[in-house]
Amino acid sequence: MDWIQTVVLALIQGLTEFLPISSSAHLILPSQLLGWEDQGLAFDVGVHVGSLAAVVFYFRDDVARMLCAFFASFRGQKSIDGNIAWLVIFATVPAMVFGFLMNDIIDHYGRSMLVIAGTTIIFGAVLWWADAKRTEVKALSAITFKEAMLIGVAQAIALIPGTSRSGITMSAGLMLGFDRQSAARFSFLLSIPAISAAGAYKALELVQTATPAQWEFVAGGVVLSGVSALACIHLFLKWLDQVGMLPFVIYRFALGILLLCVYFMVPAI
């Protein structure tokens, strides 16, 4: 790696992890268009740590309340924060099961540019439909077990590259009647165990393979992905009600078409 590659990939990870535009669709472009080699497991773990630190820091008050309420629930104390904490845990299970069962298949068949282009466009259309037909009759405090699990199943589908974890979970939330802020908030809270699990899995791979790493670039990736992700979360939630999902839908369509053009112009990809 070099510093240009470090900066570009860390910023892509930080900016696209929480926007509904698919990080995998963006991460494939530099390698295919610029011929960059794989950045390595250590760097992957590092940028995941940066993204995780950003979302935990931004929602630190929510996380603290949920943790306290979660442990209080064992003493029979019920609360909205405790309920949301439990639902975040339960809603994470489908993605973990799906990932365990389908990881090899997804790695083998799902990471082609054609697949990523298709899912970028298809789930961009789903996001557009969900936002256009939203009713916004529910707040996050009213979420039920069934609704949380449906969003969790949507998150499992996002293991298919190009889908966008944040995009499909927000789409599911909007379809279930939640307002934009509540759909986005639950999506971001749900990302904490999801990113933690992904980072832990990659860290385990790193330990098992004992792959050498360029730690200065890893450290730079942690910082850049964390700062960019923090700014991204803040601005997205600030502007969400004003701009809605349409700009991201248009961007996804444009990106998907670009990927298709690259794929058919360079058949060997």
pLDDT digits (tens, 9 = 90+) for 223-259: 999 999 999 999 999 999 999 999 999 999 999 999 9
pTM of the model: 0.91
- The answer to whether 218 touches 47, Cβ cutoff 8 Å, is no
pLDDT digits (tens, 9 = 90+) for 57-105: 999 999 999 999 999 999 999 999 999 999 999 999 999 999 889 888 8
pLDDT of residue 100: 85
For residue 112, name the pLDDT band (cuts at 50, 70, 90): confident
| Higher per-residue pLDDT: 6 or 109 | 6
CA-derived radius of gyration, the chain: 18
pLDDT digits (tens, 9 = 90+) for 24-39: 778 777 776 777 776 6
pLDDT digits (tens, 9 = 90+) for 220-233: 999 999 999 999 99
